[in-house]
Amino acid sequence: MKDHSEHGEHNGAHQDDFVGKYIFSVDHKVIGLQYLFTSMFFLLFGFTLVLLMRWQLAYPGTRIPLIGSLLPLSLAPGGVMLPSFYNSLGAMHGTIMVFLGIVPLGVGAFGNYVLPLQIGAPDMAFPRMNMMSYWSYLPGGCLMLLSFFLPGGAAQSGWTSYPPLSVINPGQTTWLIAMVFLITSSLLGSINFIVTTLNMRAQGMTLWRMPVFVWAQFVTAILLLLAFPPLEAASILQLMDRVAGTSFYIPANLVVGGKLLDHTGGGQPLLWQHLFWFLAHPEVYVLILPAMGIVAEIIANNTRKPLFGYKEIVGAMIFLGGMSFVVWAHHMFLSGMTPALSNFFLVTTMIISVPSVALLTCLVFSLHGGSIRFTVPMLFALAFLPMFGIGGLTGLPLGMPVTDIYLHDTYYVIGHFHYVVVTGTIIALMGGTYFWFPKWFGRRMSEGWGKFHFWTTLLCMNGVFMPMFIMGMAGASRRLYDPTAQLHNLTTQPMNVVSTISAILLMTAQIPFLVNFFYSIFHGEKCDSNPWHVTTLDWACPSPPPHGNFAKPPRVYRGPYEYSLPGAKADWIPQDVKEAA
């Protein structure tokens, strides 16, 4: 730790012109807001894609309403979706929501803006690298969207891009190049987060005085740094298979359309699966750890008491991060691995569920004895607990080969994953948006519209994903363009209709949120620098914070959650206050 009384590069990097201040900014707060607005756009776009998919699943072969006539004939002649377009929607929905929406929002937006404030730093350790991270992310996202308009269209091989299909299908080259940009962005950001957390903490901010949110971002950055390089290398190898005639993933004597592929070799399609899932399972915790950090901050503040088991929460996060690198092949039980190897990954999968349960238990126990304030952020945090619990519990059968073999290619998997990432992570990110909005803009969002947004969103999310468990256990395949093509799916087809109607209502429920969000930026109720009475350092500076964040370098005297201490006059004591008031 260092005393950053002289900010050095951080002050010298500040520019007053519009381009330097708002576009190519090196201020972590501006970059955080750039990530915020960009990732929100991608989330809405990715959600729009799935609405088209859901229409096809509920009413296969019927004309898409409203926009069907606007789609080109190559995608939807007469407004009726083609199978190739459906495949593109599936691949791009998953890619956009995970790599362009949720991760940039949870890490790029919340992490960039809040982490330096919570540790008392004037900025990130490497401001220009921070800027470069965003400007690698944005071109990658734009390139991903551009692929819809290029010859061959967007990627059609699923968000997992399994070869050899991904090597011979159109649209995959642009997807791979865009992924290289996005992975580079995450690597630049992760290095910055790690160095900032270790070297830029304020005086007195020991590791055990850091808020849980900082620990969550720190562990997440380590996961990104270790897990993304294999996928970047794997993507470049797959790109070479497509454009340079190599055969890293193309097996010998591969026949396509009745003809032997020109450049077949001795490649291994399973190699891609191993490299992809070596990233993608740690990626699950990249999605969920920042959300848990947000929920922990909200619960501590709105129960007005310290978190139960602070060190246990941190230890569970670290253990989760380490174990996430030895469970990846439970996604590959159907690939023909030996029983001994399957059993190894079964055991590691069961073990990794333990720290997840410990985290959830500590957060639930933190509610006991609290003076709970049912603010909008707290409602989202409370909803996270059972929703993430459902997501975790439904994942256990998928970690055992005997049940996964039946469930793997069914809608059960879709339901499980979305309960973790949507009703888990996105619910938490929504709560975090309401919680830190006053810090970002110095104003508050409407409480009434926030509660309306919460209840409608929660009900609609369950309406979308709960039927998928029923469909999956009935054997409905998750890879069908027309589910009615298989007779056994007819009994569960009404569930697809329920899920689609709920998805449309869920999109509608986001309109009040968007209006509330953008209206409140300019016309929301003005508030002081700490309207929630939070103890952590991010609320010790003005709202919104100036360049450099703090008028003078803060000094930390206590832990992050000193609420309701016996004998104290107030029910909260900030970290930078020396004596109990």
Instruction: Print burial letters for 169-204: b (CB count within 10 Å at least 16), e (below 16).
Output: bbbbbbbbbbbbbbbbbbbbbbbbbbebbeebbbeb
pLDDT reading at 241 higher than 60: yes
Share of the chain above pLDDT 90, in %: 89
- In-domain check, residue 403: yes
pLDDT number for residue 123: 96
- Among the residue ranges 44-53, 98-107, 150-159, 187-196, the one predicted with the least confidence is 150-159
pLDDT reading at 4 higher than 80: no
| Closest of 320, 319, 341 to residue 274, by C-alpha | 341
**String of DSSP letters for 320-363:** HHHHGGG-GGGGGGGG---HHHHHHHHHHHHHHHHHHHHHHHHH
Confidence band of 554 (pLDDT split at 50, 70, 90):
very high
- In-domain check, residue 13: yes
For the segment 333-348, what is each residue's pLDDT rounded down to a tens digit?
999 899 999 999 999 9
How far is C-alpha 131 from the chain's CA centre? Answer: 20
- Whichever domain contains 244, its CATH number is 1.20.210.10
- Among the residue ranges 42-51, 246-255, 426-435, the one predicted with the least confidence is 246-255
pLDDT number for residue 15: 57
pLDDT number for residue 253: 87
Asked if 101 and 170 count as a contact pair (C-beta separation under 8 A), the reply is no
**Residue ranges of the alpha helices (H) in 200-259?**
212-243
For the segment 52-107, what is each residue's pLDDT rounded down to a tens digit?
999 999 999 999 999 998 999 989 999 999 999 999 999 999 999 999 999 999 99
pLDDT number for residue 569: 85
Supply 551's token pair.
């008028």
Burial of 72 (0-12, 13-18, 19+ CB in 10 A): exposed
Confidence band of 532 (pLDDT split at 50, 70, 90):
very high
pLDDT number for residue 11: 45
Helix (H, G, I), strand (E, B) or coil at 172: helix
pLDDT number for residue 13: 47
- In-domain check, residue 3: no
- In-domain check, residue 359: yes
Asked if 143 and 174 count as a contact pair (C-beta separation under 8 A), the reply is yes
Q: Cα separation of 331 and 526, whole Å?
A: 49
For the segment 117-136, what is each residue's pLDDT rounded down to a tens digit?
999 999 999 999 999 999 99
Q: Cα separation of 557 and 212, whole Å?
A: 17
pLDDT number for residue 191: 97
Q: Cα separation of 130 and 107, whole Å?
A: 12
Asked if 269 and 249 count as a contact pair (C-beta separation under 8 A), the reply is yes
pLDDT number for residue 580: 55
What would the mean pLDDT of 472-493 be, rounded to a whole number? Answer: 94
pLDDT number for residue 14: 53
**String of DSSP letters for 411-470:** HHHHHHHHHHIIIIIIHHHHHHHHHHHHHHHSEE--HHHHHHHHHHHHHHHHHHHHHHHH
Mean pLDDT of the chain: 94
The one-letter code for the residue type at 427 is I
Confidence band of 8 (pLDDT split at 50, 70, 90):
very low
Share of the chain above pLDDT 70, in %: 97
What would the mean pLDDT of 22-32 be, rounded to a whole number? Answer: 94
Confidence band of 28 (pLDDT split at 50, 70, 90):
very high
pLDDT number for residue 467: 97
pLDDT number for residue 16: 67
Confidence band of 504 (pLDDT split at 50, 70, 90):
very high
pLDDT number for residue 95: 97
pLDDT reading at 148 higher than 60: yes
**String of DSSP letters for 470-487:** HHHHTT-BTT-SSGGGSG
Instruction: Give the domain extent around 255.
Output: 9-539
Confidence band of 273 (pLDDT split at 50, 70, 90):
very high
Confidence band of 42 (pLDDT split at 50, 70, 90):
very high
- In-domain check, residue 239: yes
**Count of domains forming the chain:** 1
pLDDT number for residue 581: 47
Asked if 71 and 531 count as a contact pair (C-beta separation under 8 A), the reply is no
- In-domain check, residue 571: no
In order of 224, 395, 479, 496, the CA distances from 502 in angstroms are 34, 23, 20, 10
pLDDT number for residue 2: 47
> What torsion, rounded to 10 degrees, do the Cα atoms 60, 66, 68, 70 define?
-170
- In-domain check, residue 560: no
Helix, strand and coil percent figures for the chain, each rounded to 5? 65, 0, 30
What would the mean pLDDT of 202-225 be, rounded to a whole number? Answer: 97
pLDDT number for residue 10: 47
- In-domain check, residue 392: yes
